[in-house]
A and B are shown apart, each in its own frame.
Chain A
Amino acid sequence: DQQVKQNSPSLSVQEGRISILNCDYTNSMFDYFLWYKKYPAEGPTFLISISSIKDKNEDGRFTVFLNKSAKHLSLHIVPSQPGDSAVYFCAAGIGDSWGKLQFGAGTQVVVTP
């Protein structure tokens, strides 16, 4: 069963605006979450993570928000840049699973001029 879901397969946003990517999960045992970014013909690259004991983590233009009661997290990119056009994957893990992750299906982001 799909424990991590990204319900929006694609997102188009204008350069300079905010991109908001959403992710829902079903397993309350997950205690950390990550976002990966993937360009065509390349492997995913780690972007940002958050522990379940926090509700926000910020790194430059990227902020991840976690709402544990709703089992929902989001990634905000502000401001969006053309180089941000990529597929973004949400992933979740359990602390004692030694890094094994459950991934969502991804959201294709297109940043237009």
Chain B
Amino acid sequence: ILNVEQSPQSLHVQEGDSTNFTCSFPSSNFYALHWYRWETAKSPEALFVMTLNGDEKKKGRISATLNTKEGYSYLYIKGSQPEDSATYLCALNTNAGKSTFGDGTTLTVKP
């Protein structure tokens, strides 16, 4: 069984705060790491796909880094806004096939 761990499970921040959370995964047999944003009552939407050690991706105020050797990825949100409130899922591919998801970090941004 592949363990993809996300921490913290939930996070509450004030509007304007910057925050980050972690996705940990087995470093062997790495192929790709995905981040998804999932709003309640909607479907998960892809944020980033990362494949190389040291990859950094950015989309607006959200960015992500990847360390395949030690088996972790960080997602950063700069200047959090209430609309950033969602569950952030990471998913690991060990081959060009199935993605194994973590249970997500649920972010709540208070105005």
A and B, one complex? Answer: no
B binding-site residues for A, Cβ under 8 Å: none
Which positions in A face B, CB cutoff 8 Å? none
